[in-house]
Amino acid sequence: MERMNQWMTLIANIGVLAGIVFVALEIQANTNAVRSATYQAFNDSSFSWADSQIENAAELAEIYKHSSREELTPEQRLIVDGVTFKAFTIMESNYLHHRAGAMDDDLFETKMRGSVGALLNIKLWMEGWKQRELRTTPEFWNYMEAKIKVAQSVASNPASS
């Protein structure tokens, strides 16, 4: 009887280990599915962004000649507000996906460098960012502000980079 209990215990332990391995594999599959869905959502938003840029190319080219919202017509302000809302939302979405572990570090850093570059190069975007007309989470705001300061520092002193 003792021998049979030992075998039953061994079989039960093997079953527990097999269950743990199965759960680990399921978690990995779920993580991969979440990342895949995140990347597809990113692609969808990128394509939507590109489409809106193409559709409004003439208006945006004229708008981006200006350095302040005060120089814009009411219609142009609406376009800038829509574009910056979309841009800031995509930026923050990338941040939140990365924070949740659904976006790899290298992709996230690439997207954030591009976001900071856009803010520094498009004066109307930076004006909108500074006015905080389009609210973001405080954590994302602080993250971007730190990235902007570093980029501005590097830009003003390129020999140090």
Q: Are 72 and 66 in contact (CB under 8 A)?
A: yes
Least Cα distance to 123 among 72, 161, 73 occurs for 72
**What does the pLDDT look like over 52-82, one tens digit per residue?**
889 989 999 999 999 899 999 999 999 998 8
- C-alpha angle 20-105-117 in degrees, rounded to nearest 5: 160
- Enumerate the H helices of 66-137 as residue ranges: 74-99, 105-121, 123-131
**What does the pLDDT look like over 98-126, one tens digit per residue?**
998 888 899 999 999 999 999 999 999 99
Domain boundaries, the chain: 38-156
pTM exceeding the 0.75 threshold for the entire prediction: no
Lowest-pLDDT range of 17-21, 111-115, 131-135: 131-135
HSE-CB of 159 using CA atoms within 13 angstroms:
0
